[in-house]
Amino acid sequence: MTAVTYRQAITRAMADALAADEDVFLLGEDVAAAGGAFKTTEGLFERFGPRRVLDTPISEQAIVGTAIGAAVQGLRPIAEIMFADFAAVCFDGLANELPKYRYMTGGQVSVPVTVRMANGSGGGFAAQHSQPAENWFLNIPGLKIVVPATPADAYGLLRAAVEDPDPVLYFEHKGLFGLRGELPDEPAKVPLGQADVVREGGDVTVVTTQAMRHRAAAAAERLAADGIEIELIDLRTLVPLDLETVVASLDKTNRLVVAQEAPVDGSWGASLVARLMADRFEAFDAPPALVAADDTPVPYAGPLEAEWSPTAERIAETVRRTAAF
Amino acid sequence: MKATQRPRPRSGARAPEDAPERPADPTPDPPLDRQLALLRSMHEIRQFEEVCHRLFAQGVVRGSTHLGQGQEAVSVGACAALREGDTMTCTYRGHAAVLSMGAPLDRTFGEILGKREGLCGGKGGSMHLTDVSVGALGSFAIVGGHLPIACGTAFAARYRETEEVSVCFFGDGATNIGAFHESLNLASIWKLPAIFVCENNLYGEYSPIATTTPIAQLADRADAYGMAKARIDGNDLLEVHRTVAQAARRARAGEGPTLIEALTYRHKGHSRSDPAKYRPAEEVEQWLARDPIALHERALGAAGVERARLDALATEAEQAVAEALERAQGWPDPDPAARFTDVWA
């Protein structure tokens, strides 16, 4: 066991994937000698060389397309899109080619591409470098969506993503790069589609991902002091979605709070609440609550951005109201 | 989760029995018997598309279709210059390109008719014809969307040092979309074994090229990327073949990609809803007089092939197409439950 940062866990996962399989290669902007805009690829170019770690021009469409073409020919590309917001620049590749290629050819090709993107608010990057972009892809069947919150999950999910036979969008939260956690000497892969029950509790089920997991964990401490025990679930992947774990918890607590770093409309939280209300109406003893970000672009100034996404206090307040209903 | 390594597709593995045989290493100028086979191939494709046109008119085919009668020499000539293992990507106007790679006529009809035995099991249709087993890696219906993918297939060849090349067909309209420029730039700086074949049929959908593009010769776009270029008569089968064979040779030798502008003309409109009234009558007439099949027949005649032999090829092609259609029409529809498969590997 060593304590590593979320960033180091990602680097280690790529190093191990490159070492394990000659078909794995890495491409993106400044990922080679520069080590990546977020230093997530540091040391990989030195270790694996220019054949397998490739700098590209600032050409997101070319990055994604090259990854797709290489993947259908049997390689396993890891493509880095520097900021998740830039997914909009190559949306055709991500929305029309990557997820549909297999389907529209009747299964003649597999497209084992992993696209890594730095995601999320909190760093003062303002509106065009801060939007948690994972929700953009929810309505596109054919994409797996991975949203790790801890170093161990960042490692394990990335290894699983690279080995997965299907396209995977892997979102790295910028606010978590410095987060430290334990990583075993031989870290485990984490299967896609298995939520993590972070904390057990009988009063309210709280479902989260990424930064919200950590804010909800802080809220849980305050709530426990007031005698409210939450069951904290980190989904880890949005597609596949581990509904089973959420339902099992809801059946136990009969109360649901979802906390997400995104506005409500078209989000995974809104889908989850709607689905559970439709399918499990009888399980609820209180209306489900969705603690969401404001319905605005992400603002720049510190005090503005701090209030944009759900704070631990807002999560705690919502849980209190739900528990008291 | 255990990863499953998919075997790399091999071109030519399932070519139809009567398809023209692809030589191991095509010479710039094909021998006469090969030239005859390519004439037959053009006839088959022409006939195939005439039948498609009729089927659409009868309402038995869904959605839209994009026919390429008049442009056959580009795809037939280019694909004939490839080796086994080379790959091809193309556009929604891709019937000819996919058939040129050796996709069987019947399963191609089957796909357009939405049949279970269609190339893609009825999930793709006219705009997404794909036969990986012959190297036809996909037909893409977003203008320019497949050029980056062609970079990727070329990249894979270089990564594995296979000497395979990646041919990418697209229309003149695609030269104004961002993906074209990103792809040519990347292919050039990485010296990828790619051949970009622009089928310049003078119209981007309904708009004449001069109203959308400030340069007269699209091949000149290559200059901006330090890329080799060629501007050729796309209706001259042998010129196309020669040019692509040379580009392939360069690509295999590690000398990088080529942009080929093949001037040609579609006899019909952009899609089935387009009668193409925007084109001047004289222009259409001029190009019809330069029909690639007639031009190639003339060349073969000059080389001493008798008229009767040429006519026999046309008849054989017509028969092959009719038989293929009959087979395809007899196949069952896909099971409705099939819509749930092939989303995930």
Q: CATH number of the domain that A211 lies in?
A: 3.40.50.920
Number of domains forming the structure of chain B: 1
Whole-angstrom distance, CA of residue A251 vs CA of residue A230: 13
Number of domains forming the structure of chain A: 2
Look at residue A259 and tell me if it is in a domain.
Answer: yes
pLDDT at B18: 52
Whole-angstrom distance, CA of residue A102 vs CA of residue B327: 26
Region B320-337: what's the mean pLDDT? 98
Are A110 and B131 a contacting pair at CB < 8 A? no
**pLDDT tens for each residue of B200-229:** 988 766 778 888 899 989 999 999 999 999
Note the pTM of the prediction, 2 decimals: 0.95
C-alpha pair distances (Å), B67 with each of B72, B137, B207, B270: 10, 19, 17, 7
Beta-bridge mates of residue B162: none
Instruction: Pull the structure tokens for residue B210.
Output: 């001069």
Residue A40 has pLDDT above 90, yes or no: yes
Farthest CA pair distance, chain A: 60
pLDDT at A301: 98
Q: Where a domain ends, among A151, A183, A215?
A: A183
Look at residue A21 and tell me if it is in a domain.
Answer: yes
Beta-bridge mates of residue A237: A146
Look at residue B21 and tell me if it is in a domain.
Answer: no
- Specify the amino acid at residue A60: E
Look at residue A190 and tell me if it is in a domain.
Answer: no
Look at residue B249 and tell me if it is in a domain.
Answer: yes
Give B21's pLDDT tier (boundaries 50, 70, 90).
low
**Residues found in chain A:** 325
**Residues found in chain B:** 345
| Interchain contact B12–A (C-beta under 8 A) | no
Range from A131-145, B19-33, B72-86 carrying the lowest mean pLDDT: B19-33
3-state SS string over A105-117?
CCCCCCCCCEEEE
Region A190-204: what's the mean pLDDT? 98
Please give the helix or strand (H or E) that residue A231 lies within, else none. Answer: strand A230-234
pLDDT at B12: 33
**pLDDT tens for each residue of A260-285:** 999 999 999 999 999 999 999 999 99
- For residues A232 and A109, membership in a common domain is answered with no
Instruction: Pull the structure tokens for residue A11.
Output: 């680097």
Are A70 and B118 a contacting pair at CB < 8 A? no
Q: Where a domain ends, among A122, A154, A183?
A: A183
Q: Where a domain ends, among A131, A156, A183?
A: A183
Residue B11 has pLDDT above 50, yes or no: no
Question: Which residue from A minimizes the CA distance to B139?
Answer: A105
**pLDDT tens for each residue of A98-136:** 999 999 999 999 999 999 999 999 999 999 999 999 999
* Sheet-wide strand order for A204-208: A196-199, A230-234, A204-208, A256-259, A289-291
Helices B178-189 and B147-160: angle between axes, nearest 10 degrees? 20
H helix and E strand count, chain A = 11, 14
B232 three-state secondary structure: strand
Whole-angstrom distance, CA of residue A135 vs CA of residue A151: 22
Domain that holds residue A293: 196-324
| Interchain contact A95–B (C-beta under 8 A) | no
Give B85's pLDDT tier (boundaries 50, 70, 90).
very high
The rounded Cα A202 to chain-centroid distance in angstroms is: 26
| Interchain contact B123–A (C-beta under 8 A) | yes
3-state SS string over A256-292?
EEEECCCCCCCCHHHHHHHHHHHHCHHHCCCCCEEEC
pLDDT at B121: 98
| Interchain contact A139–B (C-beta under 8 A) | no
Contacts of A164 in chain B (CB under 8 A): 1, 3
The rounded Cα A255 to chain-centroid distance in angstroms is: 24
A:B CB pairs within 8 Å: 167
Look at residues A52, A58, A21 and name the one whose alpha carbon lies nearest to residue A37. Answer: A58
Contacts of A92 in chain B (CB under 8 A): 142, 145, 179
- Specify the amino acid at residue A131: Q
Are B132 and A160 a contacting pair at CB < 8 A? no
Range from A174-178, B64-68, B252-256, B304-308 carrying the lowest mean pLDDT: B64-68
Alpha helix stretches (DSSP H) within A168-264: 210-225, 243-253
pLDDT at B19: 52
Look at residue A295 and tell me if it is in a domain.
Answer: yes
Region A210-236: what's the mean pLDDT? 98
Give B277's pLDDT tier (boundaries 50, 70, 90).
confident
CB-CB contact of B165 with B251 (8 Å)? yes
pLDDT at B267: 86
Whole-angstrom distance, CA of residue A202 vs CA of residue B301: 88
How confident is the prediction for chain B on average, in pLDDT?
91
Mutation choice for A interface testing from B90, B116, B149 by most A CBs within 10 A: B149
Look at residue A191 and tell me if it is in a domain.
Answer: no
Look at residue B20 and tell me if it is in a domain.
Answer: no
Whole-angstrom distance, CA of residue A193 vs CA of residue A153: 12
CB-CB contact of A321 with A289 (8 Å)? yes
Look at residues A96, A104, A165, A173 and name the one whose alpha carbon lies nearest to residue A132. Answer: A173
Question: Which residue from A minimizes the CA distance to B133?
Answer: A108
Q: What ipTM was predicted for this assembly?
A: 0.96
Look at residue A188 and tell me if it is in a domain.
Answer: no
Residue A170 has pLDDT above 50, yes or no: yes
b/e burial code for range A185-209 (CB count within 10 A of at least 16 → b): eebebbebbebbebbebebbbbbbb
A18 three-state secondary structure: helix
Are A70 and B3 a contacting pair at CB < 8 A? no
Region B158-171: what's the mean pLDDT? 97
C-alpha pair distances (Å), A285 with each of A200, A270, A292, B227, B341: 19, 19, 21, 67, 38
| Interchain contact A25–B (C-beta under 8 A) | yes
Whole-angstrom distance, CA of residue B64 vs CA of residue B76: 23
- For residues A135 and A277, membership in a common domain is answered with no
A240 cis-preceded (ω within 30 degrees of 0):
yes
Domain that holds residue B285: 32-322
Residue B3 has pLDDT above 70, yes or no: no
Closest Cα in chain B, distance from residue A99 (Å): 8
Give B5's pLDDT tier (boundaries 50, 70, 90).
very low
Whole-angstrom distance, CA of residue A92 vs CA of residue A65: 9
Look at residue A286 and tell me if it is in a domain.
Answer: yes
Region B244-256: what's the mean pLDDT? 98
- For residues A130 and A268, membership in a common domain is answered with no
pLDDT at B4: 32
Residue A47: CB atoms within 10 Å: 11
pLDDT at B13: 31
- Residue owning tokens 């396209």: A167
pLDDT at B209: 83
Q: What is the CATH classification number for the domain harbouring A104?
A: 3.40.50.970
- For residues A16 and A141, membership in a common domain is answered with yes
Pairing of strands A289-291, B136-140: unpaired
How many alpha carbons fall within 13 Å on the CB side of residue B100? 32
Please classify residue A230 by burial: count the beta carbons closer than 10 Å to its beta carbon, then call 0-12 exposed, 13-18 middle and 19+ buried: buried
Closest Cα in chain B, distance from residue A283 (Å): 30
- For residues A179 and A292, membership in a common domain is answered with no
B190 φ, ψ (degrees, to nearest 5): -95, 0
- Specify the amino acid at residue B86: D
Sign, Cα dihedral of B240, B242, B247, B251: positive
- For residues A40 and A104, membership in a common domain is answered with yes
Mutation choice for B interface testing from A51, A52, A108, A110 by most B CBs within 10 A: A108
Look at residues A313, A12, A57 and name the one whose alpha carbon lies nearest to residue A186. Answer: A12
Region A34-40: what's the mean pLDDT? 96
- For residues A49 and A179, membership in a common domain is answered with yes
Look at residue B333 and tell me if it is in a domain.
Answer: no
Nearest neighbour of B1 by CB, restricted to A75, A76, A191: A191
Contacts of B157 in chain A (CB under 8 A): 73
Mutation choice for A interface testing from B132, B160, B186 by most A CBs within 10 A: B186
- For residues A206 and A67, membership in a common domain is answered with no
Whole-angstrom distance, CA of residue A238 vs CA of residue A143: 10
CB under 8 Å to B84, separation ≥6 — which residues? Answer: B10, B11, B12, B22, B24, B135
| Interchain contact B156–A (C-beta under 8 A) | yes
Percent of chain A at pLDDT > 90 equals 99
Q: What is the CATH classification number for the domain harbouring B235?
A: 3.40.50.970
- For residues A202 and A310, membership in a common domain is answered with yes
Sign, Cα dihedral of A284, A285, A290, A291: negative
| Interchain contact A103–B (C-beta under 8 A) | yes
Are A165 and B345 a contacting pair at CB < 8 A? yes
Region A280-292: what's the mean pLDDT? 98
C-alpha pair distances (Å), B59 with each of B55, B56, B63: 6, 5, 10
Nearest neighbour of B123 by CB, restricted to A57, A104, A165: A104
CB-CB contact of B143 with B171 (8 Å)? yes
Q: B241 or B272: which carries more pLDDT confidence?
A: B241
- For residues A68 and A118, membership in a common domain is answered with yes
Sign, Cα dihedral of A248, A253, A256, A257: negative
Region B125-135: what's the mean pLDDT? 97
Look at residue B72 and tell me if it is in a domain.
Answer: yes
Look at residue A128 and tell me if it is in a domain.
Answer: yes
Instruction: Pull the structure tokens for residue A298.
Output: 């992400």
Whole-angstrom distance, CA of residue B334 vs CA of residue A143: 24
pLDDT at B2: 33
Closest Cα in chain B, distance from residue A108 (Å): 7
- For residues A231 and A157, membership in a common domain is answered with no
Residue A218 has pLDDT above 90, yes or no: yes
Residue B9 has pLDDT above 90, yes or no: no
- For residues A171 and A239, membership in a common domain is answered with no
Look at residue B10 and tell me if it is in a domain.
Answer: no
CB-CB contact of A166 with A23 (8 Å)? no
Catalytic sites of A, residue numbers: 129
